[in-house]
């Protein structure tokens, strides 16, 4: 899953939100620099990624792209799923998406001095242009995929991937809805096992 889904699944604890947000930029023993709660957020992020990579529905989605996009198929489906989540946001949260994303940026900015260097570099751009809410639009998704394509060391073709989404939009949307409900349930189990209560106002209970 990509940034929006990870943020959504973080619940309302600020340290969990920060840990989940920065996890891809925390390597090796660097994790030990953070508080226990932030480390829990990092573990949550990695659990979500592992659950996603092994899930048969996610694999069914990636299989549609393998011939054209090879090893980048999973990354592309992550982005497709964030787009579908953003586009159908009201099905998953009573909070308007731009209010939600604004809150996420504010929480992460509050911890700016402890963020990994890569997170510090991208956060101002992400917040200024509201990348997370922008995923709801094919134009925003296309911009994100183009940016990722430019940053890859090999020719990925990701800049053309929106056309694959348009072609099989209904199939990807069906996959996402089936998969995401199971991911939400698994995330709830993670919180319970780690002693965190999901309050009644959390969008995870929506």
Distances (CA, A) of 192 to 15, 50, 101, 144, 155: 16, 18, 25, 34, 42
Instruction: Tell me the percentage of the chain whose pLDDT exceeds 70.
Output: 94
First CA to last CA across the chain, in angstroms?
A: 20
Residues 79, 85, 88: CA angle, nearest 5 degrees: 140
Average pLDDT over residues 117-144: 93
Q: Could you read off the pLDDT of 133-178 as tens digits, one per residue?
A: 999 999 999 998 888 888 776 677 888 899 999 999 999 999 999 9
Confidence of residue 202 (pLDDT cuts 50, 70, 90): low
Cβ(44)–Cβ(5) under 8 Å?
no
pLDDT score at 153: 66
Taking a C-beta distance cutoff of 8 angstroms, is the pair 206, 92 a contact?
Answer: yes
Instruction: Reply yes or no on whether the pLDDT at 206 is more than 80.
Output: no
Instruction: Count the Cβ atoms, other than its own, within 10 Å of residue 174.
Output: 15
Work out the number of other CB atoms within 10 angstroms of the CB of residue 7.
21
Q: Give the Cα separation of 112 and 106 in Å (integer).
A: 10
Residue 118 to residue 170: CA distance in whole angstroms:
35
Closest CA to 41 of 187, 179, 203: 187
């Amino acid at each position: 899953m990509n940034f929006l889904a990870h943020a959504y699944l973080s619940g309302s604890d600020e340290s969990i939100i920060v840990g989940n947000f920065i996890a891809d930029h925390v390597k090796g023993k660097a994790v030990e620099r953070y508080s226990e709660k932030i480390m829990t957020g990092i573990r949550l992020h990695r659990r979500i990624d592992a659950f996603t990579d092994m899930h048969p529905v996610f694999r069914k989605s990636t299989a549609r792209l393998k011939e054209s996009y090879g090893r980048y198929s999973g990354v592309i489906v992550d982005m497709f799923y964030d787009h579908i989540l953003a586009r159908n946001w009201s099905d998953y949260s009573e909070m308007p998406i731009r209010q939600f994303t604004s809150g996420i940026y504010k929480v992460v900015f509050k911890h700016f001095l402890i963020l990994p260097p890569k997170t510090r570099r991208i956060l101002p751009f992400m917040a200024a242009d509201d990348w997370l809410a922008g995923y709801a639009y094919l134009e925003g998704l296309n911009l994100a995929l183009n940016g990722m394509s430019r940053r890859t060391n090999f020719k990925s073709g990701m800049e053309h991937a929106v056309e694959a989404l348009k072609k099989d939009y209904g199939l990807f949307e069906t996959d996402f809805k089936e998969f995401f409900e199971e991911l939400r349930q698994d995330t709830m189990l993670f919180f319970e096992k780690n002693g965190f209560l999901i309050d009644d106002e959390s969008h995870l209970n929506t």
